[in-house]
Amino acid sequence: MMVVSKKTMKQTLSLALLATLPAFAGGKYVAPVEAEVKPIPMVQFANPLYLGVGVVSTFIQRDPCPCYPTDPDIKDDQEGVVLRIGADYNQYIGLEGRYFKTLGEDVFSEVEHYGLYLKPQYPLSEKMNMYGLIGYGKTTVDYTNGNISSHNVENSVGYGIGFEYDFTSETTTELFDRPFDGYANQERGWGVWVDVQHLLKDASSMHTDLNIVTVGVTYDF
């Protein structure tokens, strides 16, 4: 049987007591160092898709009726609806598909068009975006004037220029997983656009020219 002396017991208790006391340096208390806990930022997915709907005005000019070749060129304008859907790859380039159809009361020069366009763009501010359109589309022009009618389908290059304005105020770029979001027309919410396009030049045997103006509202997802 091992006998522990009183001296040994006192030394053991003293060491245990010292181990439980806070550390001191130069007579001053040294607080334990705690590691800083930094919150993990919540990064949102930047959806590049947008959808727009609006009105279109078409401006058509073509040769006169062959029975009156000396008459001035025939000019007509019609109104209709336009649909656009696209995606912004970054603040400088995007891709957009378009469809429109005129809804005039007469059938003098009804137009239907769909096309796909490259969309170079530049953010003028956090609210306004300037863009261009260049691409390829299919345009159908139905012309009726009395007993004379024609149905022209043309595949051609189109180009244009326009502006977008964004109503949202979500401009903090740190919230998104891509640095371009927060510029111009690329935040989630509503906006408006206006642009002009040239679609046909001396098309078909009637040498048809077609220019359009579109105005509408967009929603960025």
What digits encode the pLDDT tens for the residues 115-146? 999 999 988 877 788 999 999 999 998 887 66
For the purposes of burial, counting CB atoms within 10 Å of the CB of 191, is it exposed (0-12), middle (13-18) or buried (19 or more)? buried
What average pLDDT does the chain have? 77
Is the pLDDT at 194 greater than 90, yes or no? yes
**Nearest alpha-carbon partner for 65 in 206, 202, 200:** 206
Q: Which domains does the chain have, with CATH numbers?
A: 49-220 (2.40.160.20)
In this prediction, residues 93-109 reach a mean pLDDT of 85
In this prediction, residues 13-22 reach a mean pLDDT of 53
Q: Which range has highest mean pLDDT (16-20, 33-37, 75-79, 214-218)?
A: 214-218
SS3 18: helix
The reported pLDDT for the residue numbered 128 is 84
